Amino acid sequence: MKIVENPSEIYSLVASSKCNGKRVGLVPTMGALHAGHLSLVEEAKRHCDIAIATIFVNPTQFGPNEDFSKYPRTLDSDLEQLERAKCDWVFVPSTMQMFPEGLSTYLEPPTVSKNWEGQIRPGHFRGVTTVVLKLFHMIPADVAFFGRKDYQQVAVLRAMVRDLNVPIELIACDTVREQDGLAMSSRNRYLSPTDRGRAVGLWNALQHVQSLVREGCHDVERLESEMRDMLLAVPVDRIDYAAIVDGVTMEPLSHVLPDAVAIIAVCIGTTRLIDNLSLDV
Amino acid sequence: MKIVENPSEIYSLVASSKCNGKRVGLVPTMGALHAGHLSLVEEAKRHCDIAIATIFVNPTQFGPNEDFSKYPRTLDSDLEQLERAKCDWVFVPSTMQMFPEGLSTYLEPPTVSKNWEGQIRPGHFRGVTTVVLKLFHMIPADVAFFGRKDYQQVAVLRAMVRDLNVPIELIACDTVREQDGLAMSSRNRYLSPTDRGRAVGLWNALQHVQSLVREGCHDVERLESEMRDMLLAVPVDRIDYAAIVDGVTMEPLSHVLPDAVAIIAVCIGTTRLIDNLSLDV
């Protein structure tokens, strides 16, 4: 596995591979890798001739009171895991390479970024879209792979790619879960054993709502209230949102329609967790 | 000369040409072509194997009270001129292709866009950077050519390309002028014969300031005041600015330094004209 730090080196490698007829897949990550990330690399290996992961903890997507400084950095373990997953190249830029002094061009993210994460984390999607577009320019891959756990992020990036005609295909991959259903997340390692026990409450609430929909309940007000009640019973320490939305526009729904998705963001202790489940049943 | 309307067709043409070792040059225009644009195409032919011009009047860079609807559209003449200049391909997208319903991702342009044109035309550089980045994605050329007449635009696009790691080189080309010194501009055709006579006042003021600098005057306050006096004597009908700035940051200077540029924007009748001259003498 080749580790590259220099943007122009990775660009040349990718450009010449593509001219040689190779299909190149990209998996952008912030490191602290878990089985969810590795499933993206496996998917990239399946679809492409060359799989490239990037590891970069993007300061611009964290708010001032968020966990940027304490976000887990586990580079050695990340590289080992990528090696084992047969990732071909890893791009590990420095913060100075990605955000040098004086950088002042950002993206104004699409409308689909306004609600939910976008509202609770102002500036988050501005940071996400900007860094992802920078990576797409540095690594002109054919396909990029993102996890559905960050559901709104995928919707925002799809809109960005479409609106700006970025020549890349996005593939969203299923969320990988622990045995009990908790969605894999780099932030799960913040959870104390008790908090870890409570954390499965997101998955239970999502499954409950899905089963109600399967039983024929399409009334969003009732479904959201049931989800909320289950979360309060866990108990979780804060509910940022527990909503049923259109899975393309991220707009609230009053009635479950095809493409509907249940989305949840809560705090358990000081750890903020998000999860979602398609209701398109 | 091949005329292409379809974004995916022009993308494939360019991508395969580059893989075949051809160097591709791009000249984005809003049509209403004059000798200035043609000099960009000639420069593209000189530097590259394939020269591509684009013709698209970008609605998003015009303010609500600006001349978008009456901006000159002269497609037949444009295509004839490009043919004569041996332009290889012309990309002529429709407004619906470039700005379909629901598009909502834009660029937040760099700091260098804040003053001057950016202040007087709010949203102008947001529109310029967004459309140019879209064109760079549709047409992944090696080099793009822009005229120095739009001096701040070149500075803004350079910052955008650098900040977002867009894999393209920008080349700024000298302003082409009429016999009397008036900078070529698509908007010159709005000028009545009397206004056309007054329009040379911009060039006279710029040359005067350059000669004062050559004689050793480096005091920006005095230089600006002389520029302004000359413009008022023309008379022009409004001075938006007549300033001496750092040619990289576009920040005001108090003293002429290397990279200093004199920039002017005025109205003559209802026609707004801009021009500039390097003072790096």
Task: Dump pLDDT digits (tens) for B217-229.
Answer: 999 999 999 999 9
User: Looking at residues A106-124, what average pLDDT do you find?
Assistant: 98
User: Looking at residues B146-157, what average pLDDT do you find?
Assistant: 98
User: Looking at residues B201-215, what average pLDDT do you find?
Assistant: 97
Q: Which residues of B24-45 are buried (b: 16+ CB within 10 A; e: fewer)?
A: bbbbbbbbbbbebbbbbbbbbb
In chain B, what are the domains? 2-173 (3.40.50.620), 186-276 (3.30.1300.10)
Check pLDDT > 80 for residue B281: no
Closest chain A CA to residue B162: A103
In the prediction, which pLDDT does A280 show? 81
Q: How far apart are CA B61 and CA B113, in angstroms?
A: 13
pLDDT category at B280 given cuts 50, 70, 90 is confident
Return the active site residues of A. 37
A139 touches chain B (CB under 8 A): no
B7 touches chain A (CB under 8 A): yes
Put simply, the answer to whether A133 touches B164 (Cβ < 8 Å) is: yes
The strand pairing partners of B54, in sequence order, are B28, B91
pTM of this structure: 0.98
Structure tokens at B215: 């004689």
B8 touches chain A (CB under 8 A): no
ipTM over 0.90: yes
User: Looking at residues B178-203, what average pLDDT do you find?
Assistant: 97
- pLDDT (tens digit, 9 = 90+) per residue, A187-206? 999 999 999 999 999 999 99
Put simply, the answer to whether A7 touches B111 (Cβ < 8 Å) is: no
Put simply, the answer to whether B130 touches A19 (Cβ < 8 Å) is: no
User: Looking at residues B85-91, what average pLDDT do you find?
Assistant: 98
User: Looking at residues A258-270, what average pLDDT do you find?
Assistant: 97
Q: How many CB pairs under 8 A join A and B?
A: 72
Put simply, the answer to whether B160 touches A105 (Cβ < 8 Å) is: yes
Average pLDDT score over chain A: 97
Name the percent of chain B lying above pLDDT 70: 100
Average pLDDT score over chain B: 97
Check pLDDT > 80 for residue A281: no
User: Looking at residues A272-278, what average pLDDT do you find?
Assistant: 98
Name the percent of chain A lying above pLDDT 70: 100
Decide if B23 contacts B64 (C-beta within 8 A).
Answer: no
B17 touches chain A (CB under 8 A): no
User: Looking at residues B244-258, what average pLDDT do you find?
Assistant: 96
Check pLDDT > 80 for residue A159: yes
Check pLDDT > 90 for residue A114: yes
Decide if A253 contacts A246 (C-beta within 8 A).
Answer: yes
In the prediction, which pLDDT does B238 show? 98
Hey, what long-range contacts does B242-246 have (CB within 8 A, 24 or more apart)?
B242/B205, B242/B266, B243/B116, B244/B209, B244/B220, B244/B279, B245/B115, B245/B116
In the prediction, which pLDDT does B10 show? 98
B34, B37, B124, B208: which is the annotated catalytic residue?
A: B37
A105 touches chain B (CB under 8 A): yes
Question: For residue A215, which of A158, A164, A279, A161 has the smallest C-alpha distance?
Answer: A279
pLDDT category at B100 given cuts 50, 70, 90 is very high
